[in-house]
């Protein structure tokens, strides 16, 4: 029996938390005892039950607080796990701080989900810590960029295990209602929470060019995702550009991936990504994709063959690609079936879980 303690300080629900939930579900019948060390305000708690893992709450709600170190160490001594699987940056902070005061015996896996716009000196120190045994990067893009911050020794610890989607879950769910008029408009969709990395200003700029500059009025832009402190400014921009008739923020939407079947194109405007899984979902739902060059997109898309990938953040260049699909909707259709098969064969959560299991077994 392998004992694994997962550590996450995430307080909101997002793609990374879905990845952890899917991993636990797919490893449910393996000879593994899972624990989750997290904060009491974590959204993960509501999705997990005792059949998947045992939950241990930190003393302080800020996971990386040094006051949690003794408690975390005591839990490690009690559980005696073989592996510590770190899912967030603050989980690495906690483990690194703890290692400064106590000897940590379990093997440590750190999962690198994406790349920030900058990296502090402390980040470089913790990323190159000798306590890390393996680093999971969620795409070749992340592995390449992250390696630039690593010493030669820690660079050799990198392994790429792509993010994935639960295909069985996607096949099971049905959409109860569609919140927009997809029958009378060409729909450009985007599914992303309102963070700076998602670059939703660019999504709005593209809408402005198509609606106001080119005067194309039978296109609507639908943005789906959790609101944040950035949302008010984004909505103000929509008002200023007089786009309200053609642009909708839907907010959070249960099983949002199902909306892909009502999008004429999925548009990703992110400037920083590890994955994202939204691209995998669009491919699986056989929705044409136009995207900036981030994360896993280079591994999935051959430009102008099975999708469109724009190397820069130029809204005019992206508009050209969107209008290719708008004017010639049949152009990519013959590739959509193979896009779905690509996901089924390589990016299912079962495949990812098998790779993680192999990694666990190699370290125990």
Gap between the terminal Cα atoms of the chain? 10
pLDDT exceeds cutoff 90 at 15? no
Give the domain extent around 41.
2-164+348-363
Percent of the chain with pLDDT over 90: 84
Q: Are residues 96 and 145 in the same domain?
A: yes
pLDDT computed for residue 117 by the predictor:
60
Q: Are residues 223 and 193 in the same domain?
A: yes
pLDDT tens figures, 195-244: 999 999 999 999 999 999 999 999 999 999 999 999 999 999 999 999 99
Calculated CA dihedral for residues 74, 75, 81, 83, nearest 10 degrees: -90
pLDDT exceeds cutoff 80 at 100? yes
Q: Are residues 90 and 174 in the same domain?
A: no
Q: Are residues 127 and 178 in the same domain?
A: no
Which CATH number fits the domain that encloses residue 298?
Answer: 3.40.50.2000
Closest CA to 224 of 188, 197, 196: 188
Q: Are residues 177 and 32 in the same domain?
A: no
Single pTM value for the model? 0.91
pLDDT tens figures, 292-304: 999 899 999 999 9
Average pLDDT, the chain: 94
pLDDT tens figures, 156-169: 999 999 999 999 87
Q: Are residues 184 and 160 in the same domain?
A: no
Strand (E) or helix (H) holding 339: helix 333-346
Q: Are residues 59 and 90 in the same domain?
A: yes
The CA distance from 327 to 325, in Å, is 6
Residue 364: band (very low, low, confident or very high) from pLDDT cuts 50, 70, 90: confident
Q: Are residues 52 and 129 in the same domain?
A: yes
pLDDT computed for residue 274 by the predictor:
82
Q: Are residues 41 and 176 in the same domain?
A: no
Q: Are residues 146 and 261 in the same domain?
A: no
Q: Are residues 223 and 156 in the same domain?
A: no
Rounded mean pLDDT of 58-68?
90
Q: How many domains does the chain have?
A: 2
């Amino acid at each position: 029996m392998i004992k694994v303690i997962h550590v996450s300080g995430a307080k909101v629900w997002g793609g990374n938390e879905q990845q952890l939930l899917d991993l636990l579900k797919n490893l449910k019948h393996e000879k593994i005892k899972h624990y989750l060390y997290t904060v009491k305000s974590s959204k993960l708690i509501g999705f997990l039950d005792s059949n998947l893992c045992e939950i241990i709450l930190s003393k302080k709600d800020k996971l990386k607080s040094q006051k949690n170190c003794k408690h975390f160490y005591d839990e490690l001594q009690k559980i005696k796990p073989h592996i510590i699987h770190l899912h967030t940056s603050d989980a690495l902070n906690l483990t690194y701080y703890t290692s400064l005061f106590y000897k940590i015996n379990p093997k440590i896996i750190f999962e690198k989900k994406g790349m920030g716009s900058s990296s502090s000196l402390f980040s470089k120190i913790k990323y190159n810590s000798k306590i890390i045994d393996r680093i999971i990067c969620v795409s070749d893009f992340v592995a390449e960029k992250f390696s630039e911050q690593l010493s030669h020794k820690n660079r050799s610890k990198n392994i790429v295990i792509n993010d994935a989607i639960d295909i069985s879950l996607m096949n099971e769910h049905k959409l109860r209602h569609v919140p927009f008029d997809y029958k009378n408009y060409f729909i450009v969709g985007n599914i992303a929470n309102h963070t700076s990395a998602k670059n939703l200003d660019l999504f709005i700029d593209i809408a402005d060019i198509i609606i106001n500059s080119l005067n194309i009025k039978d296109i609507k832009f639908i943005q789906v995702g959790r609101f944040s402190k950035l949302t008010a400014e984004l909505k103000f921009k929509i008002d200023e550009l007089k786009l309200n008739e053609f642009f909708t923020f839907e907010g959070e939407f249960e099983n949002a991936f199902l909306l892909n079947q009502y999008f004429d194109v999925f548009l990703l405007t992110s400037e920083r990504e590890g994955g994202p899984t939204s691209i995998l979902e669009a491919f699986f739902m056989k929705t044409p994709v136009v995207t900036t060059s981030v994360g896993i997109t280079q591994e999935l898309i051959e430009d102008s063959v099975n999708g469109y990938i724009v190397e820069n953040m130029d809204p005019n260049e992206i508009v050209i690609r969107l209008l290719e699909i708008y004017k010639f909707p049949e152009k990519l259709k013959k590739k959509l079936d193979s896009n779905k098969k690509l996901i089924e064969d390589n990016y299912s959560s079962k495949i990812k879980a098998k790779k993680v299991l192999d990694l666990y077994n190699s370290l125990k």
